[in-house]
């Protein structure tokens, strides 16, 4: 869904340590590669198994690259599974045989896995998580956690209950990679820890999707329909809502025990503006596929223009070409550019008619389909406004724990809830503030976030490369250019993979799960769910044209589902 670039320098890979995790990858698509590649290259863990229903992706493109291929041998039965259900059945049987003394974990074939990266389609996450948690396996789930509010809160309830049954917790991570990139870590340090612009007043944060990235993923691709995945604010921009919650609401550091400064109100507006039939050029006539369209050669959204002219012709075989033709790199290397082009054209020529059942249409992407004739319904432009009210920490709540409502709220004699107010000097960074998020499709840059942060003593601008801090007192601007390690999401993919593996390694070495979770991931499952709740609250506000009260929304839509789980 996002522009992941996969490096291919595994020949000089590092060797994992004795407590490194043994990892199963569920899903061998682009995001699976984005995590597996640095794990193998940096020796962060052992990738020991993969589950994916497509043999080509599972065996040749993933297994050969990260599992049996790097050991120059063929795949073993316990290293590949057609689906996650097959793995669960295998693992239950393996444990039964271990308990019966039929096999031993001293035998490499029966050693098993201790961790799993879940990189399947969004709507499958809830089922995989609920199947793996009873096994006590450490989980890193690609975002979003699930595609409905009920499933997200249900996961929170189910996971915490399973931990109680097992008598122990496990590491739980989510693919909110923006909070792990060195760039954003530096930005947050400047804002929250060093307070270089005083108290935060407001933020304007923009995610530019990119004109052709929108067409690829959200008009023609897997994330185009809300009924199969979810709203684009969830499937694309939950990264950004989490970034804002992390930057504004979370405690200054994971070791800080103060409660989060939670939002008060959330509003949103957005729509599908450009990619709809009303915008279709008249000259395109009745064409539904680029390869038969009379204006194909002049249309910027021509699939030939995007996938062949802009990518294949310049030998750019990374994302998104493998999502159109998974074997494109192998064809190109073995048979040459012309054969690769013909295979691409074959894939782009696939289309559907008015007689094709909707159940068939929605099961797959259609990368050659006219962007104004697709079945897409997700927004291509949306704004979200999150408002915080003053929320001072009363002395008795300085060491408060997680709950869904703002702290600093007391109950009056008549039972009504009232906000405890304080002057600016007593708010310790918890004064009223506002975050405005803008997601938009028609942009030159792809996913290179930018924004401005306004404080009481200065202003910060950021553009995914440079951070500029301006001081009102001195009139000077200091610029920072944080080093970016890795490729995907400003290095966030690589940093998250490393942090998750180090958290598991620490647990394998005898460390406490809670401390490893806090030290390496800096987020609890409660905070993971909280960021998703903010997304669903914004969607409620957008669809109902209302302003959502956070505390009421949490009480009515979260607490009751957690109790039922």
In the numeric block, which tokens belong to residue 402? 């997680």
Task: List the structure tokens of 427.
Answer: 């708010």
325: its two tokens = 């033709």
What is the model's pLDDT at position 452? 98
Round to whole Å and give the CA distance between 271 and 543: 10
Rounded to 5 degrees, φ, ψ at 295 are: -110, 20
Q: Any idea where the domains of the chain sit in the sequence?
A: 10-178+492-527, 179-274+378-491+528-564, 277-361
Please, what is the Cα angle at 410 between 404 and 413, to 5 degrees?
A: 135
Rounded Cα gap, residues 443 and 457, in angstroms: 32
- Return the structure tokens found at 249: 């609401």
| Closest by Cα among 447, 478, 481, 451 to 463 | 451
Q: What is the pTM of this model?
A: 0.91
- Helix (H/G/I), strand (E/B), else coil: 214: helix
Other CB atoms within a 10 A radius of the CB of residue 35 amount to 29
**470 phi, psi to nearest 5 deg:** -105, 130
- Burial status of residue 233 (CB atoms within 10 A of its CB: 0-12, 13-18, 19 or more): buried
Please state whether the peptide bond connecting residue 275 to the residue before it is cis, i.e. omega within 30 degrees of 0.
Answer: no
**CATH for 179-274+378-491+528-564, among 1.20.1250.20, 3.30.70.3270, 3.40.50.300, 3.30.360.10?**
3.30.360.10
End-to-end CA distance of the chain: 30
- Here the tokens at position 168 are 């122990």
Please report the pLDDT score of residue 11 as a whole number: 62
How far is 210 from 216, CA to CA, in rounded Å?
10
What sign results for the dihedral spanned by CA atoms 536, 542, 548, 552? negative
CB-count burial class (<10 Å; 0-12, 13-18, 19+) for 364: exposed
pLDDT one digit per residue (tens) for the chain, 565 residues: 445 544 556 767 899 999 999 999 999 999 999 999 999 999 999 999 999 999 999 999 999 999 999 988 999 999 999 999 999 999 999 999 999 999 998 888 889 999 999 999 999 999 999 999 999 999 999 999 999 999 999 999 999 999 999 999 999 999 999 999 999 999 999 999 999 999 999 999 999 999 999 999 999 999 999 999 999 999 999 999 999 999 999 988 888 888 899 999 999 999 999 999 999 999 999 999 999 999 999 999 999 999 999 999 999 998 999 999 999 999 999 999 999 999 999 999 999 999 999 999 999 999 999 999 999 999 999 999 999 999 887 664 444 333 444 443 433 323 333 333 334 456 777 899 999 999 999 999 999 999 999 999 999 999 999 999 999 999 999 999 998 776 666 678 999 999 999 999 999 999 999 999 999 999 999 999 999 999 999 999 999 999 999 999 999 999 876 655 4
pLDDT of residue 483: 86
Pairing state between β 22-26 and 115-118: parallel
Dihedral of CA atoms 526, 529, 534, 540 in degrees, nearest 10, equals -130
For residue 404, how many other CB atoms are within 10 A of its CB? 19
**Identical fold between 10-178+492-527 and 179-274+378-491+528-564:** no
CATH no., domain 10-178+492-527: 3.40.50.720
């Amino acid at each position: 869904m996002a522009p992941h670039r996969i490096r291919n320098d595994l020949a000089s890979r590092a060797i994992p340590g004795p407590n490194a995790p043994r990892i199963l990858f569920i899903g061998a698509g682009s995001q699976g590669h984005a995590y597996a590649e640095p794990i193998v290259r940096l020796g962060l863990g052992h990738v020991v198994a993969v589950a994916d229903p497509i043999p080509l992706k599972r065996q040749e493109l993933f297994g050969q690259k990260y599992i049996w291929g790097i050991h120059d041998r063929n795949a073993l039965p316990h290293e590949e599974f057609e689906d996650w259900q097959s793995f669960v059945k295998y693992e239950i049987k393996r444990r039964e045989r271990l308990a019966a003394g039929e096999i031993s974990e001293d035998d490499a074939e029966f050693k098993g896995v201790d961790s799993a990266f879940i990189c399947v389609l969004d709507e499958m996450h809830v089922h995989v998580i609920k199947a793996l948690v009873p096994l006590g396996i450490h989980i890193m789930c690609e975002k979003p956690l699930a595609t409905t509010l009920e499933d997200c809160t249900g996961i929170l309830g189910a996971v915490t209950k399973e931990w109680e049954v097992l008598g122990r917790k496990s590491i739980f991570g989510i693919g909110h990679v923006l909070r792990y990139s060195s760039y954003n870590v530096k930005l947050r340090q400047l804002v929250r820890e060093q307070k270089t612009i005083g108290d935060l007043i407001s933020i304007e944060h923009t995610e530019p999707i990119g004109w052709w990235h929108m067409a690829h993923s959200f008009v023609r691709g897997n994330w185009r329909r809300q009924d199969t995945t979810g709203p684009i604010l969830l499937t694309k921009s939950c990264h950004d809502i989490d970034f804002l919650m992390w930057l504004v609401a979370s405690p200054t550091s994971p070791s800080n025990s103060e409660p989060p400064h939670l939002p008060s109100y959330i509003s949103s507006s957005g729509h599908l503006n450009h990619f709809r039939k009303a915008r279709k050029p008249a000259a395109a006539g009745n064409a539904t596929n680029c390869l038969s369209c009379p204006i194909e050669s002049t249309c910027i959204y021509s699939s030939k223009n995007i996938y062949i002219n802009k990518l294949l012709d310049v030998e750019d075989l990374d994302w998104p070409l493998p999502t159109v033709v998974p074997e494109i790199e192998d064809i190109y290397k073995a048979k040459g550019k012309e054969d690769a082009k013909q295979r691409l054209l074959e894939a782009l020529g696939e289309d559907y008619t008015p007689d094709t059942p909707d159940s068939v249409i929605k099961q797959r992407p259609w990368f050659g389909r006219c962007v104004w004739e697709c079945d897409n319904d997700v927004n291509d432009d949306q704004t979200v406004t999150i408002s915080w009210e003053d929320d001072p920490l009363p002395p008795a709540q300085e060491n408060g724990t997680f709950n869904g409502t703002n702290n600093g709220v007391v109950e009056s004699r008549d039972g009504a809830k009232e906000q405890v107010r304080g002057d600016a000097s007593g708010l310790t960074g918890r004064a009223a503030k506002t975050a405005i998020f803008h997601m938009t499709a028609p942009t030159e840059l792809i996913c290179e976030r930018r924004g401005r942060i306004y404080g009481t003593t200065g202003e910060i601008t950021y553009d995914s490369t440079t951070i500029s801090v301006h001081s009102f007192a001195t009139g000077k601007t200091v610029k920072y250019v944080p080093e970016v390690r890795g490729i995907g999401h400003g290095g966030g993919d690589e940093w998250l993979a490393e942090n998750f593996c180090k958290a598991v390694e620490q647990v394998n070495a005898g460390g406490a799960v809670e401390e490893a979770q806090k030290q390496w991931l800096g987020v609890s499952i409660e905070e993971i769910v909280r960021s998703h709740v903010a997304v669903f609250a914004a969607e409620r506000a957008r669809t109902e044209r209302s302003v959502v009260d956070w505390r009421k929304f949490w009480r009515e839509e979260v607490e009751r589902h957690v109790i039922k789980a």
